[in-house]
Amino acid sequence: MIRPGLALALWLATAVVVLANHMIGDTLIAGAVGPRDAAWYKALLPLPYVALMALIHARRTAGPAWQGAALLAGLLWAGSTAVLDAAYGRFTYDESLASLADRYALAEGAPWPILMLAQLVLPWACAALLARRR
């Protein structure tokens, strides 16, 4: 069953973690290890939490419409987290669009797209695994 409210509530929980992680990464971690390692910290630390949210979503939306629910959650989570990240960078550090785009340059070693890809794929992967078990 597709539950957009559940997908939104789980995304809000993830958004709080991502924003808190950004603040910690930009202040404490970047000062201790440098901005490049802080970027990896900010991209990799939320991954287990995103996986947990995807598993919760998959368990709550199991049934005949699990693919639609997983697609909705993946698109909502990845797209809105990209917008949230852009807003955070723009309002906190007055970053330009070019510096925001540099965060997504995966070919040049930017780690941030890994989190976006995980948010896009994990809801479907967890739901597919649960559907296979049944």
- Read off the pLDDT of residues 10-62 as tens digits, 9 standing for 90 and up: 888 999 999 999 999 999 999 999 988 999 999 999 999 999 999 999 999 98
What residue numbers bound the domain in which 30 lies? 4-133
Provide the whole-model pTM.
Answer: 0.87
Domain total in the chain: 1
Contact 54, 13 (CB under 8 A): no
In the chain, the amino acid numbered 68 is G
Question: What is the per-residue pLDDT across 69-124, written as a single tens digit (0 to 9) for each?
Answer: 999 999 999 999 999 999 999 999 898 888 888 888 877 888 999 999 999 999 99
Q: Mean pLDDT throughout 60-70?
A: 90
Beta carbons within 8 Å of 12's beta carbon, 6+ residues apart: none
